[in-house]
Amino acid sequence: MPKLSITGYQTGFQKAALVKLLQEELDLDREQSVKMSDAVTSGNVISLDFADEGDVEELAEKLTVAGATVKIGDAI
């Protein structure tokens, strides 16, 4: 099962864009996406499992554009 880890967040990007992206792409409610975004911006690593490798690649690209640092593969 493909895994994507969000390992950090670059300063200078709008956190609201990350919240919206997580909400839309992971089908989370606003509260869940804010909590996940807060965890990432506080230095925590978030690991997500996906059924399809293509989904992982697509989300990784979108997260990178939004300012997140990601790793595809085994959890950190």
Rounded-to-integer distance, Cα 32 and Cα 25, Å: 12
Structure tokens at 13: 């990007």
Q: What is the pLDDT of residue 75?
A: 45
The answer to whether the beta carbons of residues 75 and 3 sit under 8 Å apart is yes
- The helix (H) or strand (E) run that includes residue 8 is strand 3-9
Task: For the chain, 76 residues long, give each residue's pLDDT as a single digit of tens.
Answer: 899 999 999 988 889 999 999 999 999 999 999 999 999 999 999 999 998 888 899 999 999 999 999 999 854 4
Residue ranges of domains in the chain: 46-76
Q: Do residues 67 and 9 touch, judged by C-beta distance below 8 A?
A: yes
